């Protein structure tokens, strides 16, 4: 009796849902469609503020690789360490402060040679120490390279950057936002409407330096220093760069009260 009563109740519920009379427990429910009103989109208008700033490098990083090889890892590390000591001594003699000489990384790698039969013919170790020397006096770059050469440095390269780049990006962003706000106020005053709240912001940065820490063409042209014309200026290979930023701001449009 309880089972029969429960089946009748299920049939009644199905009927209220709009389905056919229940003849078995395998009856399929009728899908119900629910329509929802689209959300109201307030009227809006957009303005774009543009800003640009020219920047020049004020800092140079000279990367140096100190290497040494030996039959054992300890011997290779000792050679590299001695060259590092000599390099620091020469750099300080050239006027570089100790705080501007930073150890970047140290690497110890086995060097194995094989003959045509795949047999090991020699085994030794190479130690590499990477050092970065920073200076704001570009006239010292050639002296830094000379010190590296005298210390037996294997590779050297220079890169140029703007130390306050992050702060300058904030300034450019403020300039672009202020330009967008001024444009919106001008439009509202001339066309006779009121500015509502901000409902959207899109930033479009431009320029090489917005995505890079170092200037392009960053390797110094040290070869120019040894040219036939000793009076010829040494081109450091860096150019003035621009920080460009466009910001589109969307405001809600309000009729003048």
What is the CATH number for 186? 3.30.110.170
Identify the weakest region by mean pLDDT among 1-5, 22-26, 143-147: 1-5
Q: How many CB atoms lie within 10 A of CB 187?
A: 14
Which pLDDT band holds residue 169 (cuts at 50, 70, 90)?
Answer: very high
Residues 156 and 174 in one domain: no
What pTM does this model have?
0.69
pLDDT tens, position by position, 207-223 = 899 999 999 864 444 33
What domain range is 16 assigned to?
1-31
Structural domain tally of the chain? 3
CB atoms closer than 10 angstroms to residue 49: 20
- Domain identity same for 139 and 22: no
Q: What's the mean pLDDT in 163-192?
A: 96
Q: Is residue 234 part of a domain?
A: no
| Domain boundary, last residue among 161, 191, 224 | 161
The alpha helices in 108-219, defined as continuous H runs, are 141-150, 165-191
| Ordered strands of the 101-114 beta sheet | 101-114, 120-135, 59-70, 155-161
Residue 73's CATH number: 3.30.70.2970
The residue among 131, 161, 191 that closes a domain is 161
Q: Show the CA angle centred on residue 220, arms to residues 145 and 93, nearest 5°.
A: 25
The label of the residue with tokens 């970047």 reads 104
Confidence bin at 39 (pLDDT 50/70/90):
confident
Residue 175 pLDDT greater than 90, yes or no: yes
Where in 27-115 does DSSP place strands (E)? 44-55, 59-70, 101-114
pLDDT tens, residue by residue, 108-166: 888 888 888 887 788 888 999 999 999 999 999 999 999 999 998 889 999 999 999 99
């Amino acid at each position: 009796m309880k089972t029969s009563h429960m089946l009748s109740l299920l049939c009644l519920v199905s009927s209220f849902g709009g389905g056919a009379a229940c003849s078995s427990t395998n009856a399929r429910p009728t899908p119900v469609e629910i329509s929802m009103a689209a959300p109201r989109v307030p009227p809006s208008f957009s303005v774009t503020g543009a800003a640009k700033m020219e920047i020049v490098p004020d800092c140079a990083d000279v990367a140096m690789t100190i290497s040494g090889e030996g039959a054992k890892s300890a011997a290779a590390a000792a050679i590299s360490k001695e060259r590092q000591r000599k390099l620091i001594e020469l750099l300080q003699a050239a006027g570089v402060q100790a705080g501007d000489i930073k150890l970047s990384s140290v690497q110890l790698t086995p060097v194995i040679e094989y003959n045509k039969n795949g047999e090991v013919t020699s085994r030794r170790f190479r130690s590499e120490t990477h050092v970065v020397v920073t200076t704001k006096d570009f006239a010292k770059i050639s002296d830094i390279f000379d010190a590296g050469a005298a210390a037996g440095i294997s590779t050297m390269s220079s890169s140029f950057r703007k130390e306050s780049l992050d702060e300058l990006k904030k300034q450019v962003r403020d300039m672009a936002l202020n330009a967008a706000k001024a444009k919106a106020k001008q439009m509202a005053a001339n066309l006779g409407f009121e500015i509502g709240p901000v409902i959207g912001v899109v930033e479009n940065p431009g320029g090489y330096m917005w995505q890079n820490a170092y200037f392009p063409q960053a390797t110094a042209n040290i070869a120019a220093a040894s040219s036939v014309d000793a009076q010829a200026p040494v081109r450091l290979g860096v150019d003035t760069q621009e920080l460009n930023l466009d910001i589109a701001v969307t405001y809600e449009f309000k009729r003048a009260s």
